[in-house]
Copies of this chain bind each other. A is one copy, B any other.
Amino acid sequence: MATVITSEHKARVTAWFDALRDRLIAAFETIEDVGGGAACARFERRPWQRPGGGGGTMAMLRGRVLEKAGVNVSQVAGVFSEAFRSQIPGAADDPRFWASGISVVVHPRSPLVPAAHMNTRMIVTTHGWFGGGADLTPVFADAEDTAAFHAALKAACDAHDPGYYPRFKAWCDEYFQLPHRNEARGVGGIFFDDLAGPDWDADFAFVRDVGTAFLNAYPRLIRRHMDKPWTEAQRQAQRRKRGRYVEFNLLYDRGTRFGLMTGGNPEAVLMSLPPEASWP
Number of interface residues of A (CB under 8 A): 24
Residue A239 at the B interface, CB < 8 A? yes
Residue A21 at the B interface, CB < 8 A? no
The reply to whether A277 and B276 contact each other, CB–CB distance below 8 Å, is yes
The reply to whether B277 and A277 contact each other, CB–CB distance below 8 Å, is yes
Choose among B68, B180, B239, B246 the residue that contacts A246 (Cβ–Cβ < 8 A). Answer: B246
Known contacts A246-B250, A251-B257, A251-B260; decide if A274 and B266 are in contact (CB<8 Å): no
How far, in angstroms, from A62 to B62 measured CA to CA in the complex? Answer: 31
- Considering the complex, which residues of chain A in the window 228-280 have a beta carbon less than 8 Å from any beta carbon of chain B? 239, 243, 246-247, 250-251, 257, 260-261, 266, 269-270, 273-280
The reply to whether A243 and B279 contact each other, CB–CB distance below 8 Å, is no
How far, in angstroms, from A270 to B257 measured CA to CA in the complex? Answer: 19
Distance in angstroms from A277 CB to nearest chain B CB is 5
Known contacts A246-B246, A250-B247; decide if A181 and B278 are in contact (CB<8 Å): no
The reply to whether A180 and B266 contact each other, CB–CB distance below 8 Å, is yes
18 contacts between A and B (CB under 8 A): A62-B280, A68-B280, A180-B260, A180-B269, A239-B276, A246-B250, A247-B270, A250-B251, A251-B251, A251-B260, A270-B279, A273-B279, A274-B279, A275-B278, A275-B279, A275-B280, A276-B276, A277-B279
